[in-house]
């Protein structure tokens, strides 16, 4: 499996240390990821199977979520190609 098949997700919490995990992508998984992101925006918690454990993180405790690299398939309402500017 190549490095391109790995998606690193970091969940930055309001209270607590960040939670960082990797997901191996297959083409089928990546194609459904845009819909999964869109559906997650209307839920109240993120559920992750992590090391054979179910982790439920309330969105009220999430500051932001970073996915690296950005999935190639994203919901239509996402801003694409933005560059971070240092202030």
**Cis preceding-peptide flag for 27 (omega within 30 of 0):** no
Look at residues 52, 45, 50 and name the one whose alpha carbon lies nearest to residue 9: 50
- The structural domains of the chain, with segments of one domain joined by +, span 3-68
pLDDT tens-place string over residues 23-81: 887 755 665 777 777 788 788 998 889 999 999 999 999 999 998 888 777 777 888 88
Look at residues 77, 87, 40, 83 and name the one whose alpha carbon lies nearest to residue 62: 40
Q: How confident is the model at residue 3 (pLDDT cuts 50, 70, 90)?
A: low
Q: How confident is the model at residue 86 (pLDDT cuts 50, 70, 90)?
A: confident
């Amino acid at each position: 499996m190549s490095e391109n098949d790995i998606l690193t997700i970091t969940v930055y919490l309001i209270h607590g240390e960040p939670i960082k995990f990797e997901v191996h992508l297959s083409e089928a998984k990546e194609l459904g990821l845009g819909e999964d992101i869109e559906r997650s925006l209307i839920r109240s918690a993120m559920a992750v199977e992590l090391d054979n454990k179910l982790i439920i993180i309330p969105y009220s405790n999430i500051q932001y979520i970073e996915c690296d690299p950005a999935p190639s398939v994203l919901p239509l309402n996402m801003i694409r190609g933005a560059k971070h500017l240092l202030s």
